[in-house]
C-alpha cells in the first residue's frame, strides 16, 4: 500500500472536505502550509497555550508591507526596487501603492516601510491623501506593535523639504509605533542615499524576522534598477522627433502656451490617458555664457562628469540646473564668496526667501562676482532633472504621436526676461525635426472610469486642460456612453480658450454634454472656476448622486485647493451635511476612485 492509499484509509474527512483541503494545499506555499498545520493543531488543542514552535510558525508568515506614495514616479520606482531587493534576500514582503492601501488594516501590520515624496508646499502625494487623512485623524488606532521605517523624497529648494515624510514619522510615533531606522530625507539626487538606506533597512529587518529559507543567511547586496529593455524611463530615455511646436494662446494673451507634437514611430512607446511625459531638456547657451563670464571661467575648461571628461560649457548645457535658485544655493555661495551682502541676507529668513524668489542664479553671480573654478562650480550646482508634462493625446487616436501642452514660465526681472529651464527649452529652442529625449511616466492615480457608462465631471484651469483632451479623445474612440461635463478656467475667452474648436466639435457631436467656462479677466469682477462650481452646485450634485466621477487638474497650491473647498460646499449644501461629513463623503469618493486629481 502506498503512502497516499494509507492516508486515504485513515483520513477522517469526507470526500468534499478532502478535495477542498487538497486544493488548498496545492495553492499554498510551503510556509503557508506550515502555518496551517500550526493553526489546525491549535484548534484541536484549544485548552493549551501557544507553543514556542507555533509562535515561530506565525512569525515566519509575517509580511513586511512596503507602501509607495509617489507624485512623479520616483517613490514608486524605489519601492519596486526595495521589493525586488527583499525578494532576492528571501524576505517576504507586500508592495502596495498608497492609493490601494486598506489603511484601516494598519493596526494589524508588524513591519511597515513607507517611501514617500513631498509635493507643493509640504503636501503629501495625491495618491496618499486618504491614508494621510486617516492616520492624522482621531480614528487612527494605537500602533504599539508596529515597527516602521520611512524614506522621504524631496527637494531642498522648497522650504518644507520632505515635509510629508516628517509628518508621517511624527504621527506614527505619537500612535506608539517604533522606528526601525531613523527617517531619511533625500534630495533630488537620491541614488547613493537610497542604496545605503536600503542595505541598512534590509539588515535590520533580517534581525527582526525569522529566516524564510536557508539561502537567506547571507545578504545579497545587489539592488538593480528595474528596467525593461523594451521600455524607456528616466535613466534610459527615448530619442524622438518633434513634429509641431505651436503657440495656442492669442497675440494679446498674458500666457504663452504651446501645443507640441512628438513622433514616436518605431520607438515601441505606449501610454494611456492620464500619463505624463518626462522631458530631458537643455539649458540655454546665452544663459551659460553669462554665468561663465560672471565667474571668469573659460567655456573650454574640462570637468569630469560621471567618469566622462567634457567642457564646462557642455556640462552646464546638459547636466546642471541653472534656472532655479534656492536658499541652500545662496548660503553655499555666500560662504564661498564671503560676500558681505549675501552673508547678512541669510540671517533673515523672510528676506532670504524673497531674494530667492526674485533673483535668478545668473543675477546672483553677476551682482556678486567671485573667482571660482569649474570643479567648484559644478560641486555647488544642483543636478539637472527631467520635467513631467501631462500628456494631452490618446494613443488610440494619434497612434504614432504623443502630444503635450506646455505653459511657458517667463519672468521680467530687472528689465530682462528669464525663462524656466524646461519650458524655455521647449518653447524657444525646439523646432520641427529636432530631436528630444523623452520617457512616459505612468500615472495610475488618474485614470478614466473602468465602466464606460460612468459619467465624468472634469475641472481644469490653464494647461490643466491637457489630460482631459486625452480623456475625450479616448472616450470618442471607445464610443463611451457616459455623460461628460467640463469646467475650464483661464483669463480671457478670446485669447486663452485652449483647444476651442475641439471642444465645440465634441459639443456638436454630443460626446460633451456640458461645458462651463470661467474667464477671470473678461469682466470687472473676476470669475474663477470655483465660482462656477458653486453656481452649478445643484446640477453637479445630481451628477454625483448618479455615480459621476470627478477629475481635477491644475495648480496644487491655489486652484486645486479652491476647487476642493467649492466641492465641499456643493456636497454640504445639497445633502444637508456639515463640512466634516462632507469631507468624509469626498474622502469616500477618493477611495473609490471617483475623485481623482492631477495637480502640480
406 is in an annotated binding site: yes
72 is in an annotated binding site: yes
- Please report how the helices 579-591 and 561-574 are oriented relative to each other, as an axis angle in degrees rounded to 10: 110
Question: What is the spatial distance between Cα 153 and Cα 77, in angstroms, rounded to a whole number?
Answer: 12
* 467 three-class SS: helix
183 is in an annotated binding site: no
C-alpha cell at 43: 484548534
Is residue 250 within 8 A of residue 495, CB to CB? The reply is: yes
Is residue 352 within 8 A of residue 453, CB to CB? The reply is: no
C-alpha cell at 210: 525569522
71 is in an annotated binding site: yes
199 is in an annotated binding site: no
11 is in an annotated binding site: no
571 is in an annotated binding site: no
500 is in an annotated binding site: no
62 is in an annotated binding site: no
Cβ of 219: how many Cβ atoms within 10 Å? 15
462 is in an annotated binding site: no
158 is in an annotated binding site: yes
516 is in an annotated binding site: no
Q: Which of 105, 113, 110 is nearest to 78 (CA)?
A: 113
176 is in an annotated binding site: no
389 is in an annotated binding site: yes
In degrees, rounded to 5, the angle at the alpha carbon of residue 402 between the alpha carbons of residues 401 and 405 is 135
119 is in an annotated binding site: yes
398 is in an annotated binding site: no
407 is in an annotated binding site: yes
162 is in an annotated binding site: yes
250 is in an annotated binding site: no
C-alpha cell at 433: 525635426
C-alpha cell at 298: 573659460
154 is in an annotated binding site: yes
595 is in an annotated binding site: no
Question: What is the spatial distance between Cα 480 and Cα 512, in angstroms, rounded to a whole number?
Answer: 11
567 is in an annotated binding site: no
20 is in an annotated binding site: no
21 is in an annotated binding site: no
32 is in an annotated binding site: no
Is residue 347 within 8 A of residue 376, CB to CB? The reply is: no
421 is in an annotated binding site: yes
526 is in an annotated binding site: yes
CB proximity list for 55: less than 8 A, separation 6 or greater? none
Strand 435-441 with 238-247, pairing: antiparallel
521 is in an annotated binding site: yes
436 forms beta bridges with: 240
415 is in an annotated binding site: no
Q: Is 92 exposed, middle or buried (0-12, 13-18, 19+ CB in 10 A)?
A: middle
C-alpha cell at 287: 544663459
240 is in an annotated binding site: no
159 is in an annotated binding site: yes
Cβ of 257: how many Cβ atoms within 10 Å? 22
600 is in an annotated binding site: yes
506 is in an annotated binding site: no
Is residue 449 within 8 A of residue 549, CB to CB? The reply is: yes
405 is in an annotated binding site: yes
557 is in an annotated binding site: no
Strand 93-97 with 64-69, pairing: parallel
520 is in an annotated binding site: yes
323 is in an annotated binding site: yes
Binding residues for NADP(+): 520-521, 526-530, 562
Binding residues for FMN: 70-75, 117-120, 153-162
Binding residues: 70-75, 117-120, 153-162, 323, 387-390, 405-407, 420-423, 520-521, 526-530, 562, 600
Binding residues for FAD: 323, 387-390, 405-407, 420-423, 600
Amino acid at each position: 500500500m502506498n503512502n497516499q492509499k494509507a492516508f486515504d484509509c485513515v483520513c477522517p474527512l469526507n470526500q468534499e472536505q478532502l478535495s477542498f483541503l487538497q486544493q488548498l494545499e496545492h495553492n499554498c506555499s510551503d510556509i503557508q502550509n506550515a502555518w496551517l498545520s500550526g493553526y489546525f493543531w491549535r484548534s484541536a488543542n484549544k485548552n493549551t497555550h501557544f507553543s514556542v514552535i507555533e509562535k515561530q510558525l506565525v512569525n515566519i508568515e509575517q509580511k513586511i508591507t512596503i507602501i509607495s506614495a509617489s507624485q512623479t514616479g520616483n517613490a514608486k520606482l524605489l519601492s519596486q526596487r526595495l521589493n525586488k531587493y527583499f525578494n532576492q534576500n528571501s524576505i517576504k514582503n507586500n508592495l502596495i501603492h498608497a492609493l490601494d492601501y486598506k489603511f484601516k488594516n494598519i493596526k494589524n501590520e508588524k513591519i511597515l516601510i513607507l517611501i514617500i515624496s513631498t509635493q507643493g508646499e509640504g503636501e503629501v502625494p495625491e495618491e496618499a491623501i486618504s491614508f494621510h487623512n486617516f492616520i492624522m485623524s482621531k480614528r487612527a488606532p494605537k500602533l504599539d506593535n508596529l515597527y516602521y521605517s520611512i524614506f522621504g523624497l524631496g527637494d531642498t529648494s522648497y522650504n518644507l523639504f520632505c515635509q510629508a515624510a516628517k509628518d508621517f514619522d511624527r504621527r506614527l510615533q505619537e500612535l506608539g509605533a517604533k522606528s526601525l531606522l531613523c527617517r531619511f530625507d533625500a534630495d533630488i539626487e537620491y541614488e547613493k542615499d537610497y542604496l545605503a538606506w536600503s542595505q541598512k533597512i534590509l539588515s535590520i529587518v533580517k534581525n527582526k524576522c525569522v529566516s524564510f529559507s536557508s539561502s537567506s543567511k547571507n545578504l545579497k547586496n545587489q539592488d538593480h534598477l528595474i528596467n525593461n529593455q523594451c521600455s524607456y524611463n528616466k535613466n534610459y530615455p527615448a530619442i524622438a522627433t518633434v513634429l509641431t511646436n505651436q503657440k495656442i494662446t492669442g497675440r494679446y494673451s498674458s500666457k504663452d502656451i504651446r501645443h507640441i507634437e512628438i513622433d514616436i514611430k518605431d520607438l515601441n512607446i505606449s501610454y494611456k490617458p492620464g500619463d505624463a511625459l518626462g522631458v530631458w531638456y537643455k539649458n540655454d547657451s546665452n544663459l551659460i555664457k553669462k554665468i561663465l563670464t560672471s565667474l571668469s571661467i573659460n567655456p573650454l575648461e574640462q570637468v569630469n562628469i560621471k567618469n566622462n571628461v567634457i567642457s564646462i560649457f557642455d556640462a552646464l548645457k546638459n547636466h546642471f540646473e541653472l534656472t532655479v535658485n534656492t536658499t541652500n544655493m545662496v548660503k553655499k555661495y555666500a560662504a564661498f564668496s564671503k560676500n558681505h551682502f549675501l552673508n547678512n541676507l541669510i540671517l533673515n529668513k523672510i528676506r532670504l526667501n524673497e531674494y530667492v524668489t526674485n533673483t535668478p542664479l545668473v543675477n546672483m553671480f553677476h551682482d556678486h562676482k567671485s573667482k571660482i573654478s569649474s570643479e567648484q562650480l559644478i560641486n555647488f550646482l544642483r543636478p539637472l532633472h527631467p520635467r513631467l508634462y501631462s500628456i494631452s493625446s490618446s494613443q488610440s487616436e494619434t497612434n504614432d504621436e504623443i502630444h503635450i501642452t506646455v505653459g511657458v514660465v517667463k519672468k521680467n526681472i530687472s528689465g530682462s526676461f528669464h525663462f524656466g529651464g524646461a519650458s524655455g527649452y521647449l518653447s524657444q529652442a525646439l523646432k520641427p525635426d529636432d530631436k528630444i529625449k523623452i520617457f512616459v511616466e505612468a500615472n495610475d492615480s488618474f485614470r478614466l472610469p473602468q465602466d464606460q457608462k460612468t459619467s465624468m465631471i472634469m475641472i481644469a484651469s490653464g494647461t490643466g486642460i491637457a489630460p482631459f483632451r486625452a480623456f475625450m479623445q479616448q472616450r470618442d474612440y471607445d464610443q463611451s456612453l457616459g455623460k461628460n461635463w467640463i469646467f475650464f478656467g483661464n483669463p480671457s475667452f478670446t485669447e486663452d480658450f485652449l483647444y476651442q474648436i475641439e471642444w465645440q466639435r465634441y459639443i456638436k457631436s454630443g460626446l460633451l454634454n456640458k461645458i462651463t467656462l470661467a474667464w477671470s479677466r473678461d469682466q470687472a469682477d473676476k470669475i474663477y472656476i470655483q465660482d462656477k462650481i458653486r453656481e452649478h452646485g445643484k446640477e453637479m450634485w445630481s451628477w454625483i448622486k448618479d455615480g459621476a466621477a470627478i477629475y481635477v487638474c491644475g495648480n496644487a497650491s491655489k486652484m486645486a485647493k479652491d476647487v476642493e473647498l467649492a466641492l465641499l460646499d456643493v456636497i454640504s449644501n445639497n445633502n444637508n451635511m456639515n463640512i466634516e461629513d462632507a469631507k468624509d463623503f469626498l474622502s469616500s469618493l477618493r477611495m473609490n476612485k471617483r475623485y481623482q486629481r492631477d495637480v502640480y
